[in-house]
Amino acid sequence: MIEIIPAIDIIEGKCVRLTQGDYARSKSYGDPLEMARLFEDHGIGRLHLVDLDGAREQRLVNYRVLEKIASRTELVIDAGGGLRTDEDLRIAFASGARMVTGGSIAVKDRTLFLGWIERYGADRIILGADFRDGIIAVSGWYEDTSMELTAFISSYRAAGIEKVICTDIERDGMLEGPAVEVYEDLKRSDGGIFLIASGGISSLADIELLDEKGIEGVIVGKAIYENRISLKSLESYILKRR
């Protein structure tokens, strides 16, 4: 069964959603803890928490929000955004993250990122592979690289990474459906990868399709906040698939 992972993105302590990663196109949805509790009340056990201030400033910023959610819910949280140093990682785990997601750091400092995998284990370190037109982008999606998506993921799979969050930047926040073909290609080339699809989810049917394709996880954001997918329907889907 596919793992449903709601996303909470944080700017200045508030829950927000961006469109295609554009900070100028943000919409606030209130208190992150209230939203996290709402997810938990509907049978959801996981949360993807992104520090957007941290991603922009290249340091961990909103760790107090992480600490609050982790201490007041039972959600299994993976935290990302702004993780650039060993100290950032230490703070994230000390604040209650069970896992962390590294994207930009995996591009810019491979040695450091590999050290995290070795120190904490592949079950706690997730590779963030954010792409635009098949090419990896970093630094809050402002900076394109020359790294091709499949090659980037393969290089870290060879180094021990097990879980990858793969985000199609062009679809993120657009509610136009996920990049199913991309995820299928990745699974065909590496059946052992724990692949988490992100970007474009617009309906429960999108989640069902990814589930049918054997994708292990899906991050859902704007579709929930804009009531395109109700939490009640997610709760029913989770119960049905157990």
Active-site residue numbers?
Answer: 9, 130
Q: Residue 64: CB partners within 8 Å, gap ≥ 6? A: 13, 95
Q: Beta-carbon neighbour count of residue 67 at 10 Å?
A: 16
Q: Do β-strands 14-19 and 3-11 pair in parallel, antiparallel, or remain unpaired?
A: antiparallel
Collapse the DSSP code of 181 into the 3-class scheme (helix H, G, I; strand E, B; otherwise coil) and give the result. Answer: helix
Query: Would you give the DSSP letter of residue 72?
Result: H
| Helices 110-120/86-94 angle, 10° precision | 40
Tell me how far apart the alpha carbons of residues 70 and 91 are, in angstroms, rounded to a whole number.
13
Query: Residue 62's closest CA among 53, 70, 74, 71?
Result: 53
Question: Which residue has tokens 């949280």?
Answer: 77
C-alpha dist (Å) from residue 82 to 48, 53, 56, 212, 223? 14, 8, 7, 34, 25
